[in-house]
Amino acid sequence: MLLVGLTGGIGAGKSTVSTILAEHGAVIVDADQIARDLQSPGSPVLDRMAERFGDQIIRSDGSLDRAAVAAVVFGDTPDAKQALADLNGIVHPAMQDEIKRQIEAQRHTDRIVVLDFPLLGENPRDDIAATIVVDIDPDVAVQRLVEFRGMDEADARNRIASQISREQRLERATHVVDNSGDEAALRREVDELWRQLVMLRGRVGRSRPDWLMPTLRRRRR
């Protein structure tokens, strides 16, 4: 197994890159999907969230009102930062356990496993052979969030501000996917990335990942 990390700021297009990598044959461990599954109606995680943030985050059908939670943890209030930390403290331990389970299920295969994790920059791991960053100008990300997700511009900017900076994320990258162009350009980027990952899988099989890391950095255009 070759384990690599995939990350990027909100609106960068990370999910699209993940989908294309899956088309190439990668096994995707999707942290966002795991979090959604853990927050299903009646789950212990959702119960703890309701205890912390109130029943107003629960819809009448018992499901999580994600917009209500986002308004609390990404809002422009003095309590938002602590609220976000509390949310992460509830969700992340259970999410990490499930991430570990899914990775271990692939441990003795020859697959390329992609850990799709938005907060990889904030929570770096020492067990990955490469860190892939999907990069985009924050202003373009805001524009796309407003246009394609219907988000309020202020909300989009608050969410971006809650994450580490673009510069910090790029500093930790070994591979950068530039998503400033159209979908065709992005596919070409990911096709090239996949070729590099296949080569890396072969090299790691014959040598140590930490020895290879300095040779892998791919600079942003």
What is the distance between the alpha carbons of residues 31 and 16, in angstroms, rounded to a whole number?
Answer: 15
What 3-state class would DSSP assign to 94?
Answer: helix
What is the distance between the alpha carbons of residues 186 and 143, in angstroms, rounded to a whole number?
Answer: 18
CA atoms within 13 A on the CB side of 4: 28
14 annotated among ligand-binding-site residues: yes
What 3-state class would DSSP assign to 8?
Answer: strand
What is the distance between the alpha carbons of residues 189 and 186, in angstroms, rounded to a whole number?
Answer: 5
Identify the residue whose tokens are 């996949």: 194
16 annotated among ligand-binding-site residues: yes
Q: In this structure, which amino acid lies at residue 78?
A: P
Taking a C-beta distance cutoff of 8 angstroms, is the pair 177, 132 a contact? yes
Q: What is the end-to-end Cα distance of the chain in Å, rounded? A: 30
What is the distance between the alpha carbons of residues 33 and 99, in angstroms, rounded to a whole number?
Answer: 11
100 annotated among ligand-binding-site residues: no
What is the distance between the alpha carbons of residues 29 and 31, in angstroms, rounded to a whole number?
Answer: 6
54 annotated among ligand-binding-site residues: no
Q: Which residues are documented as binding site for ATP?
A: 11-16
Which segments are annotated as binding site? 11-16
